[in-house]
Amino acid sequence: MSARGLWITIEGGDGSGKTTQSALLMEWLQTLGRTIVHTREPGGSEVGELIRNIVLHHRGHIAPRAEALLYAADRAHHVATVVRPALERGDIVLQDRYLDSSVAYQGAGRVLDAGEVRDLSLWAAEGALPDVTVLLDIDPVIARQRLDAADKPFDRLEAEKLEFHTRVRDAYLALAAAEPERFIVVDAQQSVDKIADQIRTRVQRAINAE
């Protein structure tokens, strides 16, 4: 994407600590004097919130291909109306989940063709890829223990079986191995502060390279 800003995405399985680390990274980025756009997929726009409610909270069955298409539709609108304009203004976009989530969850998790899911998202987003992707890696067993301890209702994806989340994790690690220049893989079972330090170090390097 031709733009003057910086685009950072946070990825990882459910229970990996994305919300916590996004908030800490947001606080640190704000000290740099830059404008930060903190957003998410699905749900980073008015249209996206409608799609988010369907894909995460619909109580009935959604066919895997329909689910992948819904995420791609959200992505197309989100990039066009939120991400791209922010980057063109020179802002820093900090985003929870992007196309790597679709490859992991709909591709591997739902056992669709990962290449087709990725190509669909790239088409929807006109080929846009982040500058930095942080992958918070965690054993799905530990992640489920965290979710159970949070004592909150599970959404449709959180409620999937361990085998599903194991496939998701494996897919994430394969994506990171294929694009080491974009990804930083962080052990999400470390302390919150240690994880935040590693993320900040990688992001600072990207900022210095702008």
pLDDT single digits (tens) 44-79: 999 999 999 999 988 889 999 999 999 999 999 999
pTM above 0.75, yes or no: yes
Q: Is 172 helix (H, G, I), strand (E, B) or coil?
A: helix
Please say if the pLDDT value at position 2 is more than 50. no
Domain residue extents for the chain: 6-208
Residues 132/44, Cβ–Cβ less than 8 Å: no
Dihedrals φ, ψ of 22, to 5°? -60, -45
Rounded to 5 degrees, what angle do the CA atoms 169, 98, 158 make?
A: 50
Q: Are 43 and 165 in contact (CB under 8 A)?
A: no
Task: Render pLDDT for 166-190 as a digit per residue (tens, 0 to 9).
Answer: 999 999 999 999 999 999 999 999 9
Specify the pairing of strand 92-96 against strand 132-137: unpaired
In terms of Cβ atoms closer than 10 Å to its own Cβ (0-12, 13-18, 19+), residue 84 is buried
**Three-class SS state of 73:** helix
The average confidence (pLDDT) of the chain is: 95
Q: The sheet that has 132-137: what strands, in order across it?
A: 36-40, 92-96, 6-12, 132-137, 183-187
Cα dist from 39 to 43, 75, 89, 143, whole Å:
8, 12, 16, 23
Of 184, 179, 99, nearest in space to 136 by CA? 184
Specify the CATH number for 6-208; select among 3.40.50.970, 1.10.10.10, 3.40.50.300, 3.30.1490.100: 3.40.50.300
**Does 11 have pLDDT greater than 60?**
yes
Determine the pLDDT at residue 60: 87
